[in-house]
Amino acid sequence: MKKLLWSWSSLFGLILLNIPVSGMMMEFDEMEWFTFFNGTKMFYTENNVYSEAKFPMVGLTLIQSAAAKGAVCLDGSLPGYHLHRGFGSGANNWLVQLEVCGWCDTIRNCVYRKTTRRGSSSYMEKEIPFIGILSDNAAENLDFYNWNRVKVWYCDGGSFSGDSENKAAQLQFRGKQIWLADMEELMSKGMHQAKQALLSGC
């Protein structure tokens, strides 16, 4: 890679960057879905209502090779991500956004989290809209609209760290292995040839 915009820290190996685009930084947790009267699927945020027709709906990819490496979510299911390919001058640039939302700090909380998308890919959205920093609309996302844009789901309960298990509670704490599997997967998809790469998080 000619340029890497990754930042490193001694604790986690990286510093997550939260970059506003055109004055807006969107987190999927802030979205709520509803169906409009004509059947069009809509979602809304605190300040805006959007139609899915205006934004690319990007499908979920599960990392099929992850289980053999011990890279699994809290419940043992496969980790996943969404990838929207870049084009034109951005075809060899990559933006990777990690979802992070606190740790489950007790066994009880972690067992509960297995029944949500933050602990199991069984509950992850099969498609999500790419908006804000993930948008392919140059008017909304001038800097990154034509880059390869990736949303990586968080399902290990420990911010992509740890490599252990609790057999009694049937919990897998494999964040480190998930991180390595994610990077290996994206490298195989072309990120190893990136001219620029930006790691962000929310």
Looking at residue 136, its pLDDT comes to: 96
Looking at residue 3, its pLDDT comes to: 42
Looking at residue 56, its pLDDT comes to: 84
User: How far is CA 191 from its chain centroid?
Assistant: 16
Distance, in Å, from the CA atom of 143 to the CA atom of 126, rounded to the nearest integer, reads 27
Q: Which of 65, 76, 69, 67 is nearest to 167 (CA)?
A: 76
Q: Domain ranges in the chain?
A: 56-201
Looking at residue 10, its pLDDT comes to: 29
Looking at residue 35, its pLDDT comes to: 39
Distance, in Å, from the CA atom of 202 to the CA atom of 146, rounded to the nearest integer, reads 21
Distance, in Å, from the CA atom of 41 to the CA atom of 49, rounded to the nearest integer, reads 11
Distance, in Å, from the CA atom of 136 to the CA atom of 126, rounded to the nearest integer, reads 19
Beta bridge partners of 61: 81
Residue 160 tokens read as 């992509």
Looking at residue 27, its pLDDT comes to: 40
Looking at residue 158, its pLDDT comes to: 93
List per-block mean pLDDT (blocks of 10 residues) for the chain, which spans 202 residues. Answer: 38 36 39 41 47 77 97 98 98 94 92 96 96 94 97 95 96 97 97 96 76
